[in-house]
Structure 1
Amino acid sequence: MHGIYEKDLDLNLLRVFVVVAEAGSVTEAASRLYLTQPAVSAALRRLASTVGSPLFVRAGRGLALTTRGQRLFTSARPLLQALVEATVSPAAFDPKTSERTVRIGLSDANETWLLPPLLRALDEEAPRMRLVVIPVQFRTIAEALGSSAVDFAVTVADELPADTRRLTLFWGGFVCLYDPRHARIGKRLTRESYLAHEHIIVSYNGDLRGIVEDALGVQRRVRVSVPMFHSVGALVEGSALLATVPAVVAREIISLRPNLRTTPLPLDLGGAPTELLWRNTVDDDEAIRFMRDLVVRVVKTVRGPEQTPQT
C-alpha cells in the first residue's frame, strides 16, 4: 500500500480519463463531467505524465486510445464502476443467505431464557448466520461496546457513553428462591427470617457483597458467593439456603428444578430495566439491525420477563 501512495496519483484523473475514452472527445467529456475543456485537457496531461506514456492520439475531430491507453481503460473502467456501485448501492442484506457472525453480549441472568428461543428463530429466518456470545454485566458493558468486542448487548446497565443507543426490553424485579423441603420460612417471609437464614449470593466482584448489600447496605449471612447464576439452582436444591435472584432467572431454574419455590422479598430492591444496547456507529449495519430486531421479537414472544411486584 505504501507504494501506491508514493505514486501520489489523483484518482479523479482516472475518472476523467475513462469518460474521455468513452466519449472520444474532450468537448463531450467536459460536458458530461461539468468541467471546462482546459480542465479536462490538463487532467489528461497530468495522467499521461504519471503513466509515462501517451494515452490518446488525434483521430479526425476526436481522440483514439493508444495501446497503453487501451490497457489502462480496460483495467480502470470496471474498477471505477465497482467503486461507484459500492458507494451508492451498498450490498443488500438477505438473512436467508447471509453468513455474517454477530457478537452479542449477554448477562448470565439473560442467557438461559433468551438464547434457546433466539437460536430457534435464527434457524428459521437466518440459517447461515452465527452468534458469538460474550459474557457482560453492568460493570463491563461500557468497555465491551466501546472496544467493539460486542455488536450489541442485552443486560442491565448504568451510565453509558453518549453514543450508546438504548432500548428497554422489560422491567424485572427480584424474588427469593428456596427449597421448601429444607428452608422453613413460614407462610410469609419476614425480614427477620430472611436475615436469619444463610444465603447464596452472586457477586461479580468475587466478594461477599451481592445486590442486597450494594443496594440497601444490609449484610446477610452469606454461606457461599458464586460469580454467576448458573449454579444457584443446584446449590439451593437440597439445602436451607436462600438465593435472591431476578424473577426471570428463578422461573428458568424452577422449570428445571420443580421442587424449588419463590416468595416475595421482605426488602424493597425495586426493579431495573434490562436493555438492548448498541453503539450508534452500527445503526446502519443491516445484519446487526436484523439480529437486534429478532431479539426484540423473541422477548415479546416468550414473555419471559415481567416485572415482579416487591413487598
Structure 2
Amino acid sequence: MRETPSYSSPERLARDLDWNLLKTFLVIAKSKSITDAANTLRLRQPSVSASLKRLEDRLNKKLVDRSPGSFRLTKAGELLEKEIIDIHGAILRFDTLLRNTEDEISGHVRIAMASHVECPLFDRALSIFHQTHPNATLSIEISASRHAIENLLARKASIGVCLVKERSPKLQYRRLFREHFGLFCGPEHPLFGRENLNESDLKGHSSVSFVTDQMGDALRQVALMRAHANLDDRIVGTSANLEEVRRMIISGLGIGPLPIHVAKRDVEAGILWRLPPYSNPPAIDVYVVENPNVQLNRAEAEFIKIVGSLIDQTPIEERIYI
C-alpha cells in the first residue's frame, strides 16, 4: 500500500494556507466586531465568521475572543496580524519591484565609428551609460566613415561617429568635436628631428594618407594641405584606419596626416615628428549621426540621449582639439 507523504506542520501550512483567509483576518483584526468586518468586506456576517473559523482550524489557534460586549484579538491573533501586515506590505511592493525590473535597460547598442576617435566627451558618455545601465551592452565597429554612414542607412548600426562628406536628408547630424590635422614623419625619414623647416622642404617627398584624403571627400582640407606642401602626387600607402596610417608613417613609408591631438603622445615619445605647416592647420569636424527612421531599442535611445545631453552641456570651445 502506498504511503501518503508526510509533511511537517510548517510545510503543510505553507502549502494549504489560503491568502484570502489572511486578508479577511486583517480586516477582522482592525474591526470592532464580525458584523463591522462584514460591512467593510461587503460580505454576509456568516461568511466572515466561517472564514475566521477556517483560519483558526488551519492554524489550530484561537485568534479572536468573542463574548457579549467584548471583541479582542488573542495573543496568537496579535502575532498573526503583525505577520500579515508585513506580508501584505511585501506584496504591495511586488508591483514596484517588477516595474523597476522592467525599467532596467538591457539592450544592445551598435556604434559605427571612424578609426581612433579621441574625444573625452564621448568617453564620458560611454562611462555614464554603463554606470547607469550595467545590463546593457555595446559594440564599437571601426570602419571608414562612408561605411559607417552606409550602416546607418541600412539600419545596421544604432549611432555613427564619423566624418561627413555630404549630408543625407535621411540622417540627423550633430557635431561632436573638431580636430585639426598636421603632417608627420617617422624616425626613418630624413626630415625627422629637423627644426625650422618650411613647406618647401617637403616638396617631392613620398606620402601616405587616408582613403578619404581626396579633393572630393571628407578630408578635402587635408588633401589641400598635402597639395600645398608639394608632396609627391603618388601616395605610396593608404588606409581607412588611423592606426595603420600611423604605422606607415612611423615605418618611414612617407609623410602623412594625423590629428594633432592624437599624435601628441607619439611626438612626446619621440616616434613621430611634426612637420610644417605649423599655423592654421586644417580643421575637420566629427559628427554623431543618427537615423531617425530606425525604431530604437531602449538602450539605443538612452545612449543617444546621454550623448546629446553632454553635447548640449559642453560649449563647442571645449570640444575643439589641436
In the TM superposition, 1:17-56 aligns within 5 A as none
| Aligned position for 1:230 | 243
Q: TM-score, normalised by structure 1?
A: 0.53
1:11 maps to what in 2? none
Please give the root-mean-square deviation of Cα atoms over the aligned residues, in Å. Answer: 4.3
Normalised to the residue count of structure 2, the TM-score between the two structures is 0.52
What is the SS of the residue equivalent to 2:152? helix
Give how far 1:131 is off.
1.3
Q: What does the per-residue CA deviation read over 1:208-231, in whole Å, with 9 as the maximum and x for residues that have no partner?
A: x98578546836333332332112
Identify the residue that residue 301 of structure 2 maps to in structure 1: 289
Among 90, 96, 109, the residue aligned to 1:102: 109
Count how many residue pairs are aligned between Structure 1 and Structure 2.
214
Q: Which residues in structure 2 correspond to 1:1-311 (within 5 Å)?
A: 97-110=104-117, 119-179=126-186, 182-184=189-191, 186-204=194-212, 214-215=223-224, 218=227, 220-221=231-232, 222-237=235-250, 239=252, 241-251=254-264, 253-254=266-267, 257-265=269-277, 270-282=282-294, 286-295=298-307, 297=310, 306-308=320-322
- CA deviation digits over 1:84-133, x for unaligned, max 9? xxxxxxx9898983211011110014179788665544442322211122
Aligned-residue offset at 1:265: 2.6
Question: Contact conserved, 1:200 with 1:225, CA < 8 A, in 2?
Answer: yes
Unmatched segments (≥5 aa) in structure 1: 1-90
Unaligned runs of 5+ in 2: 1-97
CA distance 1:131–1:191, shift in 2 (3 Å): same
CA distance change for structure 1 residues 252 and 202 in 2, over 3 Å: closer, same or farther? farther
Is 1:194–1:266's contact at 8 Å kept on the other side of the alignment?
no
The alpha-carbon deviation at position 259 of structure 1 amounts to 3.6
One-letter code aligned to 1:220? L
Aligned to 1:153, the other structure's residue is in SS state strand
Classify the secondary structure of the residue corresponding to 1:231: helix
**Structure possessing the higher radius of gyration over alpha carbons:** 2
Secondary structure of 1:169's partner? Answer: strand
Q: Give, in whole Å, the separation in 2 of the partners of 1:136 and 1:226.
A: 10
Q: Percent identity among equivalent residues?
A: 14
Q: Provide the rounded CA distance (Å) in 2 between the counterparts of 1:271 and 1:306.
A: 9
